[in-house]
Amino acid sequence: MQRVEATEFGDSSVLEVTDAEMPDPGPGEVRIEVEAAGVNFADIMQRRGHYVGGPEPAYVPGMEAAGTIDAVGEGVEREEGQRVVAMTGQNAYAEYAVADADSLFEVPESMSFAEAAGFPVQFLTAHAVLHEWGELEAGERVLVHAAAGGVGTAAVQLAAAADAEVFGTASTDEKLALAERLGCDHPINYEQEDFREVIADETGGEGVDLVLDGVGGETFARSLDALSHFGRVVAYGAASGEPGEVDTTRLLFENKSVIGFHLGNALQRDPQRILASVPELQEMLVAGELEVVVGETFPLEDAAEAHEAIENRETTGKVVLEP
């Protein structure tokens, strides 16, 4: 079978297509014939060597794989041919991938494999940072950075469904039009406007109640400026490559909160807190109340191009590899 390996840390050129033997599922595992593998910014951070606790080269990237069960390991009560999507942790950039049977979600016939590959990381993250960590309430104001990205498109929809007033940032009018279609009330082009000024104008200087920040760096600092008293920021990534810095004195006197979230760590330590949202999310997706926005698909052998497109901010929604 073919798979993509990150041979060393570096730019996208370190991703190479290699031949490998078919993996065998162990006890409690299944083997999936992969039809679509999700590409996440975390894959890029791992490839650069900037991901805390990330894998050491050489390794096969990819945190989520959708396809059909090809073989089952001992003790697994699953059937071959079943349509599933799995959170693999790694190894999804391949024609076949092994996954823990407990990490599987069934894929309804109404959903394509590309859409299924965009479900686990994006929607579980978005729901958690909005509700379980962000404690969003109806009528509150929320700011979603990268509102046309994978997590962003999910978060905009979920925030709108919760009757929040949604502000969203993106770099182009095309991306902002997508965010607006999904439920963003106040689309902001951060290349042309200072989101702090827009929020101050739209809220009478009060600010937003919740910020979802996967960017870090200067964006994180400005997000604190846009936050209302008693507001909170949930930091779930650092796509800028720079961490956000917190002045605790400012938090104290302005009664603001900063909360950290990492999907993988949360799943390891308290999986039920994360997975409790799955039935509701799946029901909303099947009912057409939510959609997985698949921006671009690339052949497996073009994984490097997929990474470059994300890094160059050329994509919207979920980017998917198709073996």
Digit-coded pLDDT (tens) for 89-121: 999 999 999 999 999 999 999 899 999 999 999
Residues 301 and 188 in one domain: no
Q: Which residues of 186-200 are buried (b: 16+ CB within 10 A; e: fewer)?
A: bbbebeeeebbebbe
Q: What is the pTM of this model?
A: 0.94
Tokens 């039935």 appear where?
Answer: 279
Residues 107 and 177 in one domain: no
Model pLDDT, residue 6 = 98
H, E, C per residue of the chain: CEEEEECCCCCHHHEEEEECCCCCCCCCEEEEEEEEEEECHHHHHHHHCCCCCCCCCCECCCCEEEEEEEEECCCCCCCCCCEEEEECCCCCCECEEEEEHHHEEECCCCCCHHHHHCCHHHHHHHHHHHHHCCCCCCCCEEEECCCCEHHHHHHHHHHHHCCCEEEEEECCHHHHHHHHHHCCCEEEECCCCCHHHHHHHHCCCCCEEEEEECCCHHHHHHHHHCEEEEEEEEECCCCCCCCCCCCHHHHHHHCCEEEECCHHHHHHHCHHHHHCCHHHHHHHHHCCCCCCCEEEEEEHHHHHHHHHHHHCCCCCEEEEEEC
276 part of a folded domain = no
Side-chain half-sphere exposure of 310, counting CA atoms within 13 A: 28
260 part of a folded domain = yes
Residues 127 and 143 in one domain: yes
80 part of a folded domain = yes
Residues 70 and 200 in one domain: no
| Mean pLDDT calculated for residue range 8-32 | 97
175 part of a folded domain = yes
Residues 171 and 302 in one domain: no
pLDDT range class, residue 11, cuts 50, 70, 90: very high
Residues 108 and 171 in one domain: no
Domain of residue 174: give its range.
122-265
Residues 128 and 261 in one domain: yes
pLDDT range class, residue 244, cuts 50, 70, 90: confident
241 part of a folded domain = yes
Residues 301 and 248 in one domain: no
Digit-coded pLDDT (tens) for 173-197: 999 999 999 999 999 999 999 999 9
Digit-coded pLDDT (tens) for 191-208: 999 999 999 999 999 999
271 part of a folded domain = no
Residues 65 and 9 in one domain: yes
Q: Which residues of 251-263 are buried (b: 16+ CB within 10 A; e: fewer)?
A: beebebebeebbb
273 part of a folded domain = no
pLDDT range class, residue 240, cuts 50, 70, 90: confident
Residues 188 and 205 in one domain: yes
pLDDT range class, residue 242, cuts 50, 70, 90: confident
The domain boundary residue, chosen from 248, 265, 282: 265
> Over 90: is that where the pLDDT of 241 sits?
no
201 part of a folded domain = yes
Q: What is the CATH number of the domain that holds 31?
A: 3.90.180.10
Residues 108 and 145 in one domain: no
Model pLDDT, residue 238 = 85
Q: What is the CATH number of the domain that holds 198?
A: 3.40.50.720
Residues 192 and 233 in one domain: yes
Looking at the 3D structure of the chain, how many domains does it have? 2
